[in-house]
Amino acid sequence: MNNLFSFHGIDHKVGVTMTAQSVAELIASQNSNIKVLFISLNGRKNCEFVKEEVKTIDEFKLQLDSQMLISKDFVRDCRHKKNLHILAGLSNELEERYYFPDAAKYLLESVSGSFEIIIADTGSDLNNGLALGGLSIAAKKYLILTQLESNLFRYEEMLPWFEKALVKFDGFIINKFCEEDPHTLKYIVERLCINKEKSFKIQAAGYDRQAELEHKTLMEFKTDSYLEDIATIANNVLKASGLPQIQLQRKNKLWRNFI
């Protein structure tokens, strides 16, 4: 799918949902003439950065099982604000095992024509059916990790499993990045044998706990460095989609909120 972009985490708490949702919000805010869908394809609801109630995949289970999903109804039901649409993951995590890769593929392919950009949060569990389905048909796949040694080691351990699942990442995002950390970007790129051109970093914004408490993304705190880093990733997505790039403006004029 040319308009599907999946974000996957090497482990829990690396910031997949925050990053993916921020990219979706920024693209939607700067391109008002296109429809953007942010979807959680994993075993959790993952809507902690949204204040309002949103639809969950559970609510479309009947349509998925019968393969009778109607795109126009989906677009209407998942509309969040203006041109941004959101579908959260599973509200009942115990039913995770009932969702298979084909369900995610069917869902995405059924609604693909209604959106110019689809951003998928595929969590951090490769064994999850929804996640694997989203990863398998994405135009580009981004892996999110941090500078923690445990993250780097886990990637090295998981690499054979990614290869076995035919999941090849097109971009690597070092989240919560700190310049003073001994695990520099150069070190990470060389150790993990990553193409430098495919590596991105998101500098630590310092408002993570507040963002979670207030149920909003770090985009709303208008930190210049965070906006710039998210814009770089968003432009990578837009370039692959053949859509206009976001033009950075200083002093927080870039971010036009949905409120």
Q: What pLDDT digit, counting tens, does each position of 228-239 carry?
A: 999 999 999 999
pLDDT digits (tens, 9 = 90+) for 8-37: 999 999 999 999 999 999 999 999 999 999
* 237 found inside a domain: yes
Overall average pLDDT of the 124-150 stretch: 97
Q: At 126, is the pLDDT very low, low, confident or very high (cuts 50, 70, 90)?
A: very high
Q: Is residue 149 a part of any domain in this protein?
A: yes
- Is residue 8 included in any domain, yes or no? yes
CATH code assigned at 224: 3.40.50.300
Residue 149 near residue 119 (C-beta atoms within 8 A): no
Its domain, for residue 236, covers 4-241
Kindly give the interhelix angle for 16-30 and 224-241, rounded to the nearest 10 degrees: 70
Does any domain span residue 72? yes
Identify the band that residue 259 occupies on the pLDDT scale cut at 50, 70 and 90. Answer: very low
Task: Please compute the mean of the pLDDT values over residues 101-110 and round it to a whole number.
Answer: 96
| C-alpha triplet 238, 158, 14: angle, nearest 5° | 55
| pTM listed for this prediction | 0.92
Mean pLDDT across 37-60: 89
DSSP state of 193: T
- Total domain count for the chain? 1
**In which band, very low, low, confident or very high, does the pLDDT at 46 lie, cut at 50, 70 and 90?**
confident
Q: Are 117 and 9 in contact (CB under 8 A)?
A: no
- 131 in a structural domain: yes
The pLDDT, as a whole number, for residue 134 is 97
In a domain, 142, yes or no: yes
Residue 44, pLDDT score: 85
Q: Which residues sit opposite 140 in a β-bridge?
A: 5
157 or 257, which is more confident? 157
Long-range contacts of 94-102 (CB under 8 A, 24+ apart): 95/58, 96/43, 96/128, 96/129, 97/129, 99/43, 99/57, 99/128, 99/129, 99/130, 100/129, 100/133, 101/129, 101/130, 101/132, 101/133, 101/136, 102/133
Query: Is residue 256 predicted with pLDDT exceeding 70?
Result: no
Q: For 60-85, what is the mean pLDDT?
A: 93
* Arithmetic mean of pLDDT, 178-193: 96
pLDDT of 149 above 80: yes
Q: For residue 251, what pLDDT band results from cuts at 50, 70 and 90? A: low
For the stretch 199-216, pLDDT in tens is: 999 998 776 677 777 777
Q: Is residue 250 part of a domain?
A: no
Residue 197 has pLDDT above 70, yes or no: yes
Residue 249 falls inside a structural domain: no
Region 89-109: mean pLDDT is 92
